[in-house]
Amino acid sequence: MDAFSYNSIFWVLILILSTNFALRAFTKTKEEESYFLYHLVSSYHIIFAKLLYNWIVIFIGGVIFLLSSIIFHSSLESFMTFPIVQFIFLLLVSSLCLSSTFSLPSALVLTSNNKGTLLGILSFPISIPITLVCINLGGELISKQTWNMSGLLLLLSVVLIMSTVSLFLFKYNWQS
């Protein structure tokens, strides 16, 4: 497998990974536990914590996957020039982006019956462009070793918009 196809598969995998992680962040909390938390701290703290947790989990998952795939495929010549450090930095930004888009929808689907399907429907339209941008950025890293600044800024702006919206809106969902 060459570096380009690896790049595409990697980001799609990160997307699937982040859906599962984001859903687990909410479903694993027991009802009594969340009732306790509701009285203890404000909703801003909760969504901020979930966002941070998702970010770290997606990032660590991605790094483990990246490193293990490089270790186990070290015979491949194309990985000799693979920009690992830049890739990990891109992963840091994109996992923040994914966690900020997934956190609020995963809180929204808690009230419905089939959570997994609904989370997919709600958040995939938003996360697919992010994945596409990530694939483009990763492809440029591999081929030209340069950063596409507008793509990076786009990711950061998505982070800014989505996390702000999540922080403000989660309050209303948390009450119920």
Residues that bind another protein (CB under 8 A): 101, 104-105, 108, 111-114, 118, 121-122, 124-126, 128-129, 150-151, 154, 157-158, 161-162, 165-166, 169, 172-173, 176
Calpha distance 15→28 (Å, rounded): 20
CB of 169 to another protein, least distance (A): 5
Minimum CB separation of residue 107 from another protein in Å reads 9
Shortest approach of another protein to residue 87 CB, angstroms? 22
User: Quick one: 19 or 101, whose CB is closer to another protein?
Assistant: 101
Closer residue to another protein in complex, CB, 76/126: 126
